[in-house]
Amino acid sequence: MKIPLVSYLIINLFFIASANGQQPFSSVKDPEITDFATVVQFLSSPDLEGRMTGAKGNQIAASYIASMMQQMKLSPLNPSDNAKPDITGYFQQYDLIQITHEGTKLIFKDTKKSLHDTFSIHTDFFTEEFFHNFRINGTANIDFSSVADNQTGNALNSDTISPKAIVLPETIEVYEKQSAAEKRNGSISSKSMASIRLDIHDNLDKDDFEKTGFKFEVRDTQNDVPVIYFNHEKSLKILDRYLSGKQPEKEEGKRSFKVLEVEIQGNTQLSPVVARNVIGMIPGRDSLTAIVIGAHYDHLGMDETGIYCGADDNASGVAGVISLAKMWYKSGEKPPCNLIFACWAGEETGKSGSSYFAGQIADPRTIRLYVNMDMISRSAPEDTFSRTLSIGFRAKDPQLKQLCSNENDQLPVPFLLDLWEVDGYTGSDYASFLPKDIPVLSFFSGFHPDYHTIRDTYEKIDLDKMERILYLVNHIIKRVLLN
C-alpha cells in the first residue's frame, strides 16, 4: 500500500505546481515571523546602545549581520585570499569624520538685573550638526508677532500671546520675504544670526520636552543659522525673569518684540571613524546584472534620555533583508541575476553608507532595481485591518507602480497602498540611487509618535504586518526577476 500512497502524493504535488504555474520561483518561500523576529530583537536590544555609526554597538550589529550572511553562504563582496573565509569579507569599509560639540553653551544675561543663566549641551539642550566654532554675542529680539491672526494677517496683541521665537538681529527687515511656512515657524531667515524657538517640535510630545529641554540646531551655510528649541513652559519661566518690566518695541505698527542679551558659544570637535556596509550576494545565472535589496542598520545611539533602540528604524528593514536572503538560500534556487543583500551604515547621519556604495557602482545600468526597506514594522493604532503600506517609486517607472499594485491585489487582504513618487530630498537610502538613474522601490510602514525617540522598541513591533509586507516584497522581487 505504500507505493500508491507515494504516487498519490506526487500526482497531487504536480497538480498543485501546475495550478500555481503563474507563481514564479515557488521554491523561494515567504519569510515567516520566526525568520525575522529574533533579528529585530537582537539589533534593537539596548545592549547595542542604539547602533550609532562608529560606536561599539554598531560594530556588533555589523558583525552579527555578517555572521548571518556567512551562515547563509552568501558570496562576500570582497572574497578573502584565505582558504577559510572570515566575516570581514562582507564589510565594505569607508571613512567618516565624526562631529561632536562638547562645550557648546547658550547664555542669557542682563547686567542691570544681575541675571546670568548658562545652559550646556547635552544637559540643557541638544544640537544638530554644525561644522565650525563660533561665538555669537548680541541682542536677541523676542518676537511676539509671528503668530498672526488667521483672518486679518495682523499680529495679535503681544500682551496676551506667549512669545514664539527669539530671533537674533537682522531678521525683521527680511521678514516679508519669508515663506508662509517660515513665518509660521517663527521668523527665522537667512539673515538671522540665530533663532531660539519656543515652538514645540512636531515629532516630540510634551514628555520629551520635559526630559530633553532645548534642541539646538545649526545649519552650516554661509548664513549659518543656529536654532534652539525650547520646552515651552520651561522657557517661559526663564524668560519671565529677563522680560518682566520691559516694554515691547514695535516695528511698523505690526510687529512687536522685547530684547534679550544672548551669547552662544558653538564648539566643534572632529574625529575620524571607520564605517562599514555589510554586503553579501547570491550569484545569479546572469552574473553581470543585479537587484540590490537594502536597509540601514545604524541608528541614533544614546543620550541622557536613554537608548534609541531603533526597532522599527531600522532593525525591521535589516531583518527584512536578512530573511529574504534566507528564503533564497534555503530554496537553493539560482536567481536569473545577482541578488545583492546590503545593510548600510551611516543612514541616520546623512545616508553615507548607501551613497558610498552607489558611488562605487562602475556601470549603474547593471543594477536593475534597488529595493529599500526603511521602517517596515509599525502601524497607527487605528490601522488594524486594511493596513497602510507606503511604496515609493520613480515617476519614470510606471510599470513598477503597476506591478506593486497588481501584486498587492493578489494578497488575501490587500494593503491600503500609498504609492508615491520619490524625489531626491530625503534622508532615506533610496535617494543615493536616484542620481545613478537606478529604478527604486522604497517600502515604509509609516511614521508614528515613537519615530526617532527612545520608545521605538521591539515590544511595539507589529510582527504580523511586517510578515505581510515581506510577503509582498518577496513577490514583487520575484515578479521583477521574471521580466
Shortest distance in whole angstroms from residue 456 CB to Zn ion: 9
What is the size of the binding site for Zn ion (CB under 5 A)? Answer: 1
Choose the stretch contacting Zn ion; rule: CB under 5 A; options: 30-38, 112-120, 279-287, 309-317: 309-317
Q: By CB under 5 A, what part of segment 38-67 binds Zn ion?
A: none
3 state SS of 329: helix
Q: By CB under 5 A, what part of segment 195-234 binds Zn ion?
A: none
* Residue 143: closest CA among 125, 165, 121, 158: 165
Shortest distance in whole angstroms from residue 246 CB to Zn ion: 42
CA–CA distance, 483 with 464 (Å, rounded to integer): 29
Is 313 near Zn ion (CB under 5 A)? yes
Choose between 166 and 311: whose C-beta lies nearer to Zn ion.
311
Grid cell digits, residue 389: 503600506
Choose between 208 and 313: whose C-beta lies nearer to Zn ion.
313
* Cβ-contact 430, 392 below 8 angstroms: yes
Choose the stretch contacting Zn ion; rule: CB under 5 A; options: 98-106, 311-319, 381-389, 394-402: 311-319
Cα angle value 331/337/343 (rounded, 5°): 75
Choose between 224 and 313: whose C-beta lies nearer to Zn ion.
313
Shortest distance in whole angstroms from residue 426 CB to Zn ion: 11
Choose between 211 and 452: whose C-beta lies nearer to Zn ion.
452
Q: From the DSSP assignment, how many helices (H) and strands (E) are in the chain?
A: 10, 21
Question: In Å, how far from its chain's centre is CA 19?
Answer: 42
Choose between 133 and 203: whose C-beta lies nearer to Zn ion.
203
Choose between 69 and 300: whose C-beta lies nearer to Zn ion.
300
Q: How far, in Å, are 78, 170, 199, 294, 447 from residue 88 at the CA level?
A: 8, 53, 47, 19, 34
CA–CA distance, 97 with 270 (Å, rounded to integer): 6
Choose the stretch contacting Zn ion; rule: CB under 5 A; options: 99-107, 126-134, 200-208, 310-318: 310-318
Shortest distance in whole angstroms from residue 181 CB to Zn ion: 23
Q: By CB under 5 A, what part of segment 320-339 binds Zn ion?
A: none
Grid cell digits, residue 234: 520651561
Is 298 near Zn ion (CB under 5 A)? no
Burial 269-290 (b: 16+ CB within 10 A, else e): eeeebebbbbbbbbebeeeeeb
CA–CA distance, 119 with 100 (Å, rounded to integer): 17
The residue nearest Zn ion at its CB is 313
Shortest distance in whole angstroms from residue 308 CB to Zn ion: 9
Choose the stretch contacting Zn ion; rule: CB under 5 A; options: 104-112, 135-143, 204-212, 312-320: 312-320
Choose the stretch contacting Zn ion; rule: CB under 5 A; options: 247-255, 256-264, 313-321, 439-447: 313-321
Q: DSSP secondary structure string, 419-482?
A: EEE--S-SSSGGGGTGGGT--EEEEE----TTTTSTT--GGG--HHHHHHHHHHHHHHHHHHHH
CA–CA distance, 31 with 39 (Å, rounded to integer): 12
Is 143 near Zn ion (CB under 5 A)? no
Choose the stretch contacting Zn ion; rule: CB under 5 A; options: 76-84, 106-114, 212-220, 305-313: 305-313
Residues in contact with Zn ion by CB under 5 A are 313
